[in-house]
A and B are shown apart, each in its own frame.
Chain A
Amino acid sequence: MYPHERSLVKKFEGAPFAILGINSDEDRDALKRIVKEKKLTWRSWWDGGGTGGPIATRWNINGWPTLYIIDHEGVIRHRNVYSDFDSQLEVLVEEAKNAAVKE
């Protein structure tokens, strides 16, 4: 997962795209070390230290990782994607760019 995410950050550098994590680890300090060591440059919410955190519970998450793709208008466009979703992201990033030009 991490290498793929790092590649997406690189691929969409400067484009209207962001990875946002919701983290369900238990030890916040250990996690912060991992984030630094593994060079995870995207932001994550801290979900209270476990899989039963408020955000994961609200989003009815049963398995990790679970991925959602949300477009520039905040609409859920894909869910439970696992791999090979780069092309879907490309389409949506183009939509976001076109919308920005119109405004």
Chain B
Amino acid sequence: MLKAFPILTVLSLVLAGCVPASAQDPAPDPAGGSITEPGQDAKSDPHRQRLDELLAAFEQAQSKYFRPYMEAKTDADRESIVLDPAQDPVPLFVPRFMEFAESHANSAAAVEAWMWVYKGSVRTPRVQEHAAHAVDIIVEKYRDHPALAAPLRFAYYTGGSETTWRLHRSLWEKSKTPEIRAAAGYGLAQLTFSGTGGKATGPDPEARQLLLEVKEKFGSIPFHGDLTYAMKIDGDLFEFEHLAVGKVAPDIIGEDLDGQPMKLSDYRGKVILLDFWGDW
């Protein structure tokens, strides 16, 4: 069984999350400071292309750095791997992303680059101060920029550091863009859960209240694909109440691959490894 994969997958998701497929980079506003509307063809935008090139270079460096993990065959092999922090691509790329963001100020690409700086450096001790700086800039200059919503949506995955808290709390309090407030409020609730021992212990009352507020105010905004915040939050609340350790598993009634009826409660008396899977 692969041990490193889930961690790496989450990491690359977090980093890749900086560049949503729908991201579009409007031309820089000659007046400066104000927000330009998205809507131009992303592919034709030279900023977008340069950012994509930078991301591609980073991903290449990262897969090279983590190659020993990918090639390891057993857990024991994987545990014996020691990566040289001096070769970690994150600290090498953070200045390049910062330089890009500064020289393309006020563009959507700059917002994404600053979010990348935040996500890349927040978990890398040597460059953590850059994460704090990126959060300062994002909150001060880009808190209402529409391009911030997409990369913010999964920023809570980067975990409970003070910088992560500050990013979410500040945007929840200060942003005027509904999509950004929804993502910030939802992320803040998730951080509160993990900060109080995680979902397994059930919902923290404060986080629960926050989720209900996000649902009430921003419920119809899409969270991911067809899933709205209201649907996502309903799912989370069900999970906290019924899917925590110590709860009786809700019954699963359906059919198997051959169309035969299949019911979880028919297996009472046995220990069950329940595996949500796909062959991909």
A residues lining the B interface (CB < 8 Å): 1, 3-5, 8, 16-25, 28, 31-32, 34-35, 43-47, 51-52, 54-61, 63-79, 82-84, 89, 92-93, 95-96, 99-100
* Cα distance, A79 to B226, chains bound together (Å): 26
Assess the A46–B226 pair: CB atoms within 8 A: no
Assess the B278–A24 pair: CB atoms within 8 A: yes
Task: List the count of A-B residue pairs having beta carbons below 8 Å apart.
Answer: 173
Assess the B279–A34 pair: CB atoms within 8 A: yes
Sorted nearest first, the 10 A-B pairs with minimum C-beta distance are A60-B235, A83-B1, A60-B239, A68-B274, A70-B272, A4-B1, A66-B276, A16-B270, A92-B271, A24-B278
Give the residue of B75, B235, B277 whose beta carbon is less than 8 angstroms from that of A22. B277
Assess the A25–B246 pair: CB atoms within 8 A: no
B residues lining the A interface (CB < 8 Å): 1-3, 6, 9, 75, 200, 225-227, 235-236, 238-239, 243-250, 252, 254-259, 262, 264-265, 267-280
A83-B245 contact given A16-B271, A34-B279, A96-B271, CB 8 Å threshold: no
Assess the B257–A35 pair: CB atoms within 8 A: yes
With a cutoff of 8 Å between Cβ atoms, the chain A residues found around residue B273 in the complex are 5, 8, 17-20, 67-69, 89
Assess the B270–A75 pair: CB atoms within 8 A: no
With a cutoff of 8 Å between Cβ atoms, the chain A residues found around residue B1 in the complex are 1, 3-4, 82-84
DSSP class of A's interface residues: helix, strand, loop or mixed?
Answer: mixed
With a cutoff of 8 Å between Cβ atoms, the chain B residues found around residue A68 in the complex are 243, 249, 272-274
Assess the A20–B277 pair: CB atoms within 8 A: no
A17-B270 contact given A28-B257, A83-B1, CB 8 Å threshold: yes
Give the residue of A65, A89, A96 whose beta carbon is less than 8 angstroms from that of B276. A65
With a cutoff of 8 Å between Cβ atoms, the chain B residues found around residue A99 in the complex are 269
Nearest A residue (CB) for B227: A52
With a cutoff of 8 Å between Cβ atoms, the chain A residues found around residue B235 in the complex are 57-58, 60
Assess the B271–A70 pair: CB atoms within 8 A: yes
Nearest A residue (CB) for B248: A74
With a cutoff of 8 Å between Cβ atoms, the chain A residues found around residue B248 in the complex are 73-76
Assess the A46–B245 pair: CB atoms within 8 A: no
Assess the A51–B271 pair: CB atoms within 8 A: no
* Cα distance, A32 to B256, chains bound together (Å): 11
Assess the A79–B257 pair: CB atoms within 8 A: no
9 further A-B contacts with Cβ under 8 Å, apart from A59-B243, A89-B273, are: A21-B275, A22-B252, A22-B275, A43-B256, A60-B243, A72-B269, A72-B271, A76-B244, A79-B244
Nearest B residue (CB) for A7: B1
